[in-house]
Amino acid sequence: MYQLLTDLFPICRSITGNGVRETLNTIRKYIPIEIIEVPTGTKVFDWMVPREWNIRDAYILDENDRKIVDFKENNLHVVSYSVPVDKTVSLTELQEHLFSLEEQPNAIPYITSYYREHWGFCITHNQRISLKEGNYRVVIDSELKDGSLTYGELILPGSSEKEIFSSTYICHPSMANNELSGPVVTTMLAMWLASEPRRHTYRIIFIPETIGSITYLSRNLDHMKQNTVAGFNVTCIGDEQAYSFLPSRNGATLADRVALNILKFKHPGFIHYSFLDRGSDERQYCSPGVDLPVVSVMRSKYGAYPEYHTSLDNLDFVTPLGLQGGYTILRDCLELLERNGIYQATCLGEPQLGRRGLYPSLGTKNPQQEVTEILDFLAYADGSNDLIEISNIIKVPVWRLYGIVEKLLAAGLIMEKTIS
């Protein structure tokens, strides 16, 4: 995963343009995503697909023709969606087009101006205060014209039409946790899913944030509302710090229940955010009338770490170990969605486990832990609780129930209940 992330890192992405296409084509080397183009001007809910933005080069020259700021060194240097410019300006005029962070003087900030024509450069605050009076030549060789918005989609059919939805975004330039960790982990999860038998159908999309999710919803909402049982917005999943959770607006969907159960048993110290702390595409997926069951399981959440939206969110901040942890927690969630079910005990009273080799033959002072887990599971296998609920009630990690379910199914002591 770290290698793929490193490959994708230098590409200059925005909400439209060739950076998105290059990113999707790189991912297509691993999983067979379909790439869809939606023309500029297409009406999508309350929005319109904007003009496509591409950039070839950008720099600032000082009076000695030295490149003091160079897009080719770091694509964060240019405000995303900057219109073309090529002129000489005084330092005073230049200042109006510069962005820096006083409190993080070594970081280049990430700034966008999608919906108002503007141009600008982002630099470190240390560089900014070292700029001398004089004239500067500013060049942005960009293009903003009719084109299309590009996104990727992968449908992995399962035995059921019921869908698990996964969304991640590919619209930020060179940033690692709040951008590339999402597509990279999603790609690996898709590879794993493709290699396994699946109960659910999986709908996996790679989109530009906000305008992309709105565009996607405007084309797929009816089908998704009818079929989606759980969904994940995959973002900020590659650093080694926190595990964190952002609920759906509803707060009690299957996606919420799955993620909270897994996090509680696996990383009990995880940070539980409120939906008020949202900031990514759950803003669209959970909006009134859309109401999809989408949550975010993250490591350090966007906005909650100092490196966020700066050049410090880089290949050092995200690590192979961090990506592995993020991948594993999401895979655990998907595995639970595949294995979850409602079971009903087939006999009244407790079954006689002893003659099935599931109970110790000698009655002693301290019964064994595994026997307790089987009996506790059976006590709540009443045809109404699913595995998640039983795990929560009996305080046993759900993955320890998978084996118990198999043993009890084999012994005919439980049956799976079909939900009408």
Select 323 or 342, whichever has its Cβ closest to a copy of itself.
342
> Nearer to a copy of itself by C-beta: 10 or 383?
383
**Closest distance to a copy of itself from the beta carbon of 287 (Å):** 5
Q: Could you tell me which of 156, 232, 255, 153 has the C-alpha nearest to residue 201?
A: 156
Nearer Cβ to a copy of itself, position 148 or 310? 310
Residue (129 or 393) nearer to a copy of itself, CB: 393
Query: What is the DSSP secondary-structure string of 133-163?
Result: SSEEEEEEEEEEES-EEEEEEEEE--SSS-E
Q: Shortest approach of a copy of itself to residue 359 CB, angstroms?
A: 8
Rounded distance, CA 109 to CA 112, Å? 10
Q: CB of residue 205 vs a copy of itself: minimum separation in angstroms?
A: 15
Give the count of beta carbons closer than 10 Å to the beta carbon of residue 340. 21
Q: How many other CB atoms are there within 10 angstroms of residue 217's CB atom?
A: 21
CB of 73 to a copy of itself, least distance (A): 21
Give 158 or 231: the residue with its C-beta nearer to a copy of itself: 231
CB of 221 to a copy of itself, least distance (A): 7
**Residue ranges binding a copy of itself (CB under 8 A):** 45-47, 79-80, 99, 101, 109-116, 118, 210, 213-214, 217-218, 221, 249, 275-276, 278, 283-284, 286-291, 303, 308-310, 344-345, 347-352, 354-355, 361-365, 375-376, 378-383, 393-395
In whole angstroms, the minimum distance from the beta carbon of 99 to a copy of itself comes to: 8
Q: Which long-range contacts (CB under 8 A, 24 or more apart) does 396-402 make?
A: 397/265, 397/266, 398/261, 398/262, 398/265, 398/336, 399/332, 399/335, 399/336, 400/373, 401/373, 401/377, 402/339
**Nearest-angstrom CA–CA distance, 58 and 283:** 33
CB 296 within 8 A of CB 283: no
Residue among 315 and 347 whose Cβ is closer to a copy of itself: 347
CA-to-CA distance for 86 and 23, rounded, in angstroms?
29
Instruction: Specify the residue, 139 or 394, whose C-beta has the smaller distance to a copy of itself.
Output: 394
- For the chain, the C-alpha Rg in angstroms (whole number) is 26
Burial of 330 (0-12, 13-18, 19+ CB in 10 A): buried
Q: Which is nearer to a copy of itself, 30 or 114 (CB)?
A: 114
Tokens at residue 269, please? 């110290």
Residue 207 burial (C-beta neighbours within 10 Å; 0-12, 13-18, 19+): buried
- Minimum distance of a copy of itself from residue 45's CB (angstroms): 5
Cα pseudo-dihedral 335, 332, 192, 165, rounded to 10 = 70
Burial of residue 348 (CB within 10 Å: 0-12, 13-18, 19+) is exposed
Q: Which residue has the tokens 């141009």?
A: 119
CB of 303 to a copy of itself, least distance (A): 8
Cα(308)–Cα(235) distance, integer angstroms? 12
**Sign of the four-CA dihedral 364, 365, 371, 377:** positive
Pick 84 or 109: Cβ nearer a copy of itself: 109
**Least gap, CB of 257 to a copy of itself (angstroms):** 20
